[in-house]
Structure 1
Amino acid sequence: MTMRSIVPRENESLVVGGVIGDVLDPFTSSISIRVTYSNHREVINGLELKPSHVASPPRVDVGGDDLRTFFTLIMVDPDAPNPSNPSMREYLHWLVTDIPATTGPSFEGRQMVDAAEWRRQNFNTRDFAMLSNLGPPVAALFFNCQRQSGSGGRRI
């Protein structure tokens, strides 16, 4: 059985992009997530963005209908410093906890986890989720970002 055959159809782009496999195990999306950067460009899976587009924190809207449910948002680069030499795989850009379901404008003001507690280089999303008792993922997005001096990727 191939991974593609056990991944829900809506997550096929996450398999093609390497998110499912490299960062996450197969899962079924159960909430909506919308990420928009200051250039008003909404992130869709596989979108190519320039470093200048992602310099500021994005606006993140998380769906859900139970205000007693809180989410954790993790942004990693699974092929840092570049796809041909991913020696820092996964590089942790940021991690935000305690995001309530049905958020309004953004995650700003939420609990930003001190990255010093976790190694930024060689961070492991699966291990973090297991150690923090987070359960399986509920949503995922990714984009690609080309560095000015070469190629590199960043995924959410």
Structure 2
Amino acid sequence: MASHVDPLVVGRVIGDVVDMFVPATAMSVRFGTKDLTNGCELKPSVAAAPPAVQIAGRASELFTLVMTDPDAPSPSEPSMREWLHWLVVNIPGGTDPSQGEVVVPYMGPKPPVGIHRYVLVLFRRGAGVAAPPPDADAARARFSTRAFADRHGLGLPVAATYFNAQKEPANRRRHY
């Protein structure tokens, strides 16, 4: 009988970005016509614009979405781990990030070398929590999803997914 190994463990998302958690909220992510599955590869040009993210839950529940690159600037030497690509707070359940407050605007993948992981982590937070101010937390380089969650009392994630991307030759970029 084959055992199931969580793709977030295989991809080292659990460990490098977040601690082990039990998914408690459904989250779907789509870039153009491509539904995101853990570990899939996307061309940076396909992920240049923010994805369509659908978050389950009741409207009375609020969520925080964090997207980072734990492999910046290079997977072999991630000295800028993690690079913050997107931060949206106070997203009502049953909606998408456009209904929340953008703290750090979306920045598409731009991996300079190697294959980079891009991780989207969802946290549940209580109603009425104010958006964190765009201070040191909003610094893109050396962001820490764990430290951010600790500072703002978010607890463990309720959902996470990731994709891989690598630099694409200029003459092969596809735009949707």
Regarding TM over 0.5, the answer is yes
Q: Into which bin does the TM-score normalised by the smaller protein fall?
A: 0.7 to 0.9
For residues 114 and 107 of structure 1, do their structure 2 counterparts lie closer, same or farther at Cα, with a shift above 3 Å needed?
closer
The separation in 1 between residues aligned to 2:99 and 2:63, in whole angstroms, is 14
Q: In the alignment, residue 110 of structure 1 is paired with which amino acid?
A: G
Q: What are the Cα deviations for residues 12-41 of structure 1, in whole angstroms up to 9, with x where unaligned?
A: 100000110000000000010000012x10
1:50-129 correspondence to structure 2 within 5 Å: 50-64=43-57, 66-103=58-95, 106-114=96-104, 117=135, 118=137, 119-129=139-149
Query: C-alpha separation between the residues in 2 aligned to 1:84 and 1:147?
Result: 15
Once the two structures are overlaid, the 10-residue window that deviates more, 118-127 or 25-34, is: 118-127
Q: Could you tell me the TM-score, scaled by structure 2's length? A: 0.73
Moved over 6 A (4+): none
- Give structure 2 stretches of 5+ with no counterpart: 106-133, 170-176
Higher strand share: 2
CA RMSD of aligned residues (A): 1.6
- Asked whether the equivalents of residues 85 and 104 of structure 2 are also in contact (C-alpha less than 8 Å), the reply is no
Q: What is aligned with 1:4?
A: none
Whether contact under 8 Å (2:73, 2:79) holds in the other structure is yes
Query: Where does 1:2-17 land on structure 2 (aligned, <5 Å)?
Result: 12-17=6-11
Q: Is 1:19–2:16 an aligned residue pair?
A: no
**Hey, what's the Cα distance between the residues in 1 that align with 2:160 and 2:99?**
21
CA distance in 1, matches of 2:90, 2:16: 25
> Aligned partners of 1:147, 1:109: CA distance in 2, in Å?
31
Count of residue pairs the alignment pairs up: 136
Q: Alignment partner of 2:153: what SS? A: coil
CA distance in 1, matches of 2:10, 2:140: 25
| Residue aligned with 2:160, SS | coil
TM-score when scaled to structure 1? 0.82
Deviation for aligned residue 1:148: 2.5
For structure 1, the residue ranges without an aligned partner over 5 or more in a row are 1-8, 150-156
Bigger Cα displacement from structure 2, 130-139 vs 109-118: 109-118
